Amino acid sequence: MEFDDQERLRADSGVNDNDRSKHMPPEYADIEEFIATMVGAFGGYIRKVRPPDTRGKYRLEIAGNYRYCENIKKQHKKNQVYFLVDPIKKIYYQRCYDPDCQGFQSAKKPIYTSQTVNNQQENNSISKYNLYY
Ligand SMILES: [Zn+2]
């Protein structure tokens, strides 16, 4: 287990475990919608949104029938997957709760939202911002 994950587990057992963390902040509603739509097509839904980690990534826990894992290239029978979402870079990747997939991380994939188009038009300010990441 990565040190990162141990840190997170400790934090998860604490006060953050409540309904307030069910959604991403309103400014990222379109990003949450993107993930919700993707998993919703397979009968899944976002069970919980974890507060951002030190790198600003949100963890979206998936429940329902969406258990597709890129590590095994198919659905898990029981164990569930989650997505790590970077709302600044607009990318996400999938990780997994199955013990066999410990440490696995899928390839990073782009998040497409209606705002993505606008951001590309404002390329100058965006690339300046990206220097910090
Ligand atoms: Zn897996």
Domain extents in the chain: 3-130
Query: Among 35-39, 64-68, 93-97, 122-126, which stretch is predicted with the lowest mean pLDDT?
Result: 122-126
Residue 120 alpha carbon to ligand 1 centre in Å: 34
Residue 113 alpha carbon to ligand 1 centre in Å: 27
In percent, how much of the chain has pLDDT > 90? 66
Residue 117, pLDDT above cutoff 50: yes
Residue 7 alpha carbon to ligand 1 centre in Å: 21
CA 57 to chain centre: 7
Residue 75 alpha carbon to ligand 1 centre in Å: 8
Q: To which residue do tokens 């919980």 refer?
A: 48
Tens digits of residue pLDDT in 39-74 = 999 999 999 999 999 999 999 999 999 999 999 999
Residue 3, pLDDT above cutoff 80: no
Query: In whole angstroms, what is the distance from residue 49 CA to residue 61 CA?
Result: 6
pTM of the model: 0.72
Average pLDDT of the residues of the chain: 82
For residue 115, what pLDDT band results from cuts at 50, 70 and 90?
A: low
Residue 126, pLDDT above cutoff 60: no
Residue 116, pLDDT above cutoff 50: yes
> What is the per-residue pLDDT for 81?
97
Neighbours of ion ligand 1 (CB under 5 A): 69, 71, 96, 98, 101
Return phi, psi of residue 45, to 5°.
-150, 165
Residue 70 alpha carbon to ligand 1 centre in Å: 7
Closest C-alpha to 48, from 20, 14, 88: 20
Q: 100 to each of 17, 93, 94, 95, how far by Cα in Å?
A: 26, 18, 15, 11
